[in-house]
Structure 1
Amino acid sequence: MKITSLFVSAACFSLPLVYGQPLIDVLVTRGFTEYAANLQAYPALLARLQDRNDITVWAVPNKYVTSPDSATSSPRLVRRQSEVEVSASISHDGKPPTSGISKRQAGGNAASNFMTLRTFLEDPTFVNLGPGQPGRYVRSYTDSPPGSDQANIQITTGLGTVITQFSGPFKYDKGLIYGVTNFPTLPRPLPETLQTLGLDTFHAAITAAGREDKLDNTPGVTIFAPANSSLHGDDTIDVDAHTISDGFFFLPELFDQSPHRSDAGTTLTMTFSEGSFYVNGVRIIKSDISIKNGVVHVIEKPLDYCGEGKDDKKKVEYKAPAAPTPVKEKEHKPEPTKHHYKPRGAVRI
């Protein structure tokens, strides 16, 4: 199907679309011509979209699908996104509300404001969630521009990048189309994600505990990563108490299926209060960051205990180390190196 054959007159843009039009027709009519051209470049992916009736297409405006041509006098050249990028911008986990959701509705039930999106991203370079498990992102509702009664959608993607709805929904014969600000960032491995987010202290703790290979390669993990600012040189953190290596839980599942069991055998309980989610009383400050083999949730500080099992919850104090008092060299005594108890997976950072 030729893109050029699908253009309609400007007058038609003000007319309501009839539900039942094909995806490409609606994309072009709504001005997503370059995104439509990208999608048409991958007929196998386009054919898969015909097999379901619950598709949501997160369409990207032309300015993000074209790039300046510095080599010729042409003002712009079409820049084709890869099939992987396009497949990550289409989900199939049911239809969002056909007429949007009001600000009042969006502020009601905390869990209902979040939805896990199952995308068509299946490339093993970016997805290792287990057999038959596609890449996932989470959408939630955010404030809309002043004067509007509808709450907009935002989607948290790889590396914590957020894309935002700016138009839609538009109906087509298999589902809905939303205009969003950019393509989703593809999921990256855990080490790269932690470094990008500035969580290098927790990353160092994972490495010191000998857990990096396990957490980077096990299909389907959940990580609660304490913010760098909450970790100090004299703290001890039990890495296993901050990880679930037998299941990936984005916020909707994390909340709905609470409590969970950490790799240390401790209980992780989710609560919601005054607009924020908490795990064991510690606030989640950034949730649903997709990684290749699971999800990272950034928490305000380390969890309040570390230990071997259910009944061995050693309280850990998280205080900044006091400024050292100058002492004479002869009075310096090295710290003991023997008979130190540390819970399994706990490291001093």
Structure 2
Amino acid sequence: MKILITGTAGFIGFYLANRLIARGDDVVGLDAINDYYDVNLKYDRLIYAGIERDDITYGKLVQSKKHDNYRFIQLQLEDKAGIDLLFANEKFDAVCNLAAQAGVRYSLINPQAYVNSNIVGFVNLLEACRHNEVGHLAYASSSSVYGLNESMPFSTSDNVDHPVSLYAASKKSNELMAHTYSHLFNIPTTGLRFFTVYGPWGRPDMALFLFTEAILKDEPIKVFNHGKMVRDFTYIDDIVEGVVRVIDNPPTGDPGWTGKDPNPSTSRAPYQIYNIGNNNPVELMTFIKAIEKALGKEAEKNMMPIQPGDVPATYANVQDLVDNLGYKPETSVQEGIDTFVAWYKDYYAARWIDAKA
């Protein structure tokens, strides 16, 4: 297939692009390369796949120096003219949208960034799919859409009408807009509610990255909600396996769906929502102990109240993923953290040495 993956300078998009390149798909990667976090990490992800930093020009496709079947373009989702031109020229079979303004806490500071990328940008993708006969649009939603829901584990059949951050609201809006386009224009769409993704090459604003860096520097770590947080930490390889299976299996619609008893995760239209999580929630203090074990060093902990926009617990019900696609994530937290720490020490070798000195 010819597949567009947005967000390929980002964490999940980087892994997905390399996975699909390796299996022989014709892949076009797209990313705005914004400065939400260290752009050097983003460029290094691109370099890993053969896209040299100096070759990148906004709006121009760049051929990978490592893979004949990979090209990259720097482009903003809110750039409608650029998106329309790319789709018209390339005629993609499938699109996986992993580009977004990420982060719950940052949405309290810069809400407009979420509107531009996550809402305006997503409409641009929907319109481009509509007018270019794209066979399947898979897109990142988030476990944050569950908001004030306290029913555990979170199920895709649950009500998600009470988000507690603009980031979550923007992701819920993606699901609603996708359903509209599936219903009106018969575009197969699948939303993926990711649960706390972690692993090598991960985002520097996430807990695992922040904790590892602080511990190595003998600095205290911020433990929110006084450690009484529970997260369904999901290793990156498990996430990507789920995404690949979703891309390969576009929804066809549920003929048994009824508006009298509507299942929010399906429809008569070709529309589907999946949770992709480890289905094994871990207490934050257990997660920290696993990092301490991998580093061989104890953390100094600064206990703090829960931050606005955060939820105390996440826990994914992945039965739909098991039933429909035969897949369930299974990497243990200690195994995933050990792999991350090994990568971190290698990637930040100089910084790690300085921290130990």
TM bin (shorter chain): under 0.3
The structure in which a higher percent of residues are strand is 1
TM-score of the superposed pair, with normalisation by structure 1? 0.23
Larger radius of gyration: 1
TM-score of the superposed pair, with normalisation by structure 2? 0.22
